[in-house]
């Protein structure tokens, strides 16, 4: 019994790490750049398939693919904002109008990315084996790739938190999240900061995709499920709170794992249950103000 509880916690933390990355990414896009990006989950899929291509095609170590896939996805995100979203922002009389327009635009992105992915990679579930050797922690059995994934997600979460808290750019991002117009008259290049946030957001989904592919099978239409999870975690953690998204990701990971142990079919229902209870009890989220 004790071992199985530990099993649940360890695997819950591992899934939680993936969710945390995904949600921090969405939080940057929605909390700062005000884009509720429903194509967010597509980038976990793209990250996974690019890793597969580099690993099986070129024989690259999946973890090392981060060095190539990370910058590519970041640049895609940055340019998407500099072109599409900044044009929408310019043509919108208010934030509300912009949010509506950009939501529709990301639906478009979702379908474009998914359809192109199906054309290239088909619709079968794909996987590869990497660091799959079992690891025993105090009687609980997990795998090395899951432990590596957990380690990397925690390291990225902490590093990003320190970046936001300490660096000049991190402070500009926090200021822009609170009041973009005032950040602008303080000397912050707002268009640049918003595009950076969008790029960082997609980057986190991409990293989650690389890590996810080491541990699970993946397929081209899996993105939307992850977007929904990311939205739940962002609200759970408190809209716009990066630490909230990080903690919320781990909470949802563990809840998912508990449900999964008893009745796998109910996992998504359990996520929504937590979500609704939280909206009733603490509508502003765990770290919301």
Of 61, 83, 182, 221, which lies in the binding site for other proteins, with binding defined by CB under 8 A? 182
Q: How far is the CB of 37 from other proteins (least distance, A)?
A: 23
Q: How far is the CB of 190 from other proteins (least distance, A)?
A: 7
Q: Using the rule CB under 8 A, is 184 a contact of other proteins?
A: yes
Residue 123 exposure: Cα atoms within 13 Å on the Cβ side: 3
Q: How far apart are CA 88 and CA 235, in angstroms?
A: 25
116-155 mask for other proteins (x: CB under 8 A)? ----------------------------------------
Q: Using the rule CB under 8 A, is 89 a contact of other proteins?
A: no
- For 143, the 3-state DSSP assignment is strand
Pick 192 or 260: Cβ nearer other proteins: 192
What is the footprint of other proteins within residues 211-240 (CB under 8 A)?
Answer: none
Match 């980057």 to its residue by tokens.
203
Q: How far is CA 39 from CA 112, 113, 157, 215, 281, in A?
A: 9, 8, 22, 22, 29
Q: How far is the CB of 162 from other proteins (least distance, A)?
A: 15
- For 173, the 3-state DSSP assignment is helix
Pick 33 or 175: Cβ nearer other proteins: 175
Q: How far is CA 186 from CA 28, 173, 183, 197, 243, in A?
A: 21, 13, 5, 18, 25
Q: How far apart are CA 87 and CA 130, in angstroms?
A: 42
Q: Using the rule CB under 8 A, is 90 a contact of other proteins?
A: no
Q: Using the rule CB under 8 A, is 91 a contact of other proteins?
A: no
Q: Using the rule CB under 8 A, is 187 a contact of other proteins?
A: yes
Q: Which residues does 238 contact at the CB level (< 8 Å), separation at least 6?
A: 244, 248, 284, 285, 286, 287, 288, 289
Pick 30 or 271: Cβ nearer other proteins: 30
Q: Using the rule CB under 8 A, is 1 a contact of other proteins?
A: no
Stretch near other proteins under the rule CB under 8 A, chosen from 101-109, 116-124, 143-151, 184-192: 184-192
Q: How far is the CB of 179 from other proteins (least distance, A)?
A: 6
């Amino acid at each position: 019994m004790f071992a199985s509880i530990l099993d649940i916690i360890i695997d819950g933390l591992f899934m939680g790490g993936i969710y945390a990355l995904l949600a921090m990414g969405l939080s940057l896009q929605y909390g700062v750049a005000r884009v509720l990006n429903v194509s967010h989950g597509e980038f976990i899929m793209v990250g996974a398939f690019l890793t597969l291509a580099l690993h099986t095609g070129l024989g690259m170590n999946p973890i090392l693919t981060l060095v190539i896939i990370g910058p590519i996805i970041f640049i895609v995100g940055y340019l998407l904002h500099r072109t599409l979203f900044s044009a929408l922002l310019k043509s919108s009389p208010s934030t509300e109008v912009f949010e509506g327009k950009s939501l529709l635009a990301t639906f478009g992105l979702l379908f474009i990315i998914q359809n192109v992915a199906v054309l290239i990679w088909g619709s079968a579930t794909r996987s590869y084996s990497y660091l799959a050797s079992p690891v025993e922690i105090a009687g609980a059995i997990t795998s090395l790739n899951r432990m590596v994934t957990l380690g990397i997600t925690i390291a990225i979460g902490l590093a990003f938190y320190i970046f936001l808290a300490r660096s000049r750019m991190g402070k500009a991002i926090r200021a822009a999240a609170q009041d973009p117009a005032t950040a602008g008259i303080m000397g912050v290049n707002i268009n640049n900061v918003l595009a950076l946030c969008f790029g960082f957001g997609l980057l986190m989904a991409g990293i989650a995709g690389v890590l996810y592919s080491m541990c699970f099978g993946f397929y081209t239409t899996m993105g939307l499920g992850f977007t929904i999870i990311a939205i739940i975690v962002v609200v759970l953690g408190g809209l716009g709170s990066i630490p909230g998204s990080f903690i919320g990701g781990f909470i949802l990971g563990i809840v998912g794992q508990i449900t999964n142990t008893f009745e796998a079919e109910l996992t998504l229902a359990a996520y929504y249950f937590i979500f609704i209870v939280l909206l009733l009890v603490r509508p502003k989220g765990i770290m919301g103000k």
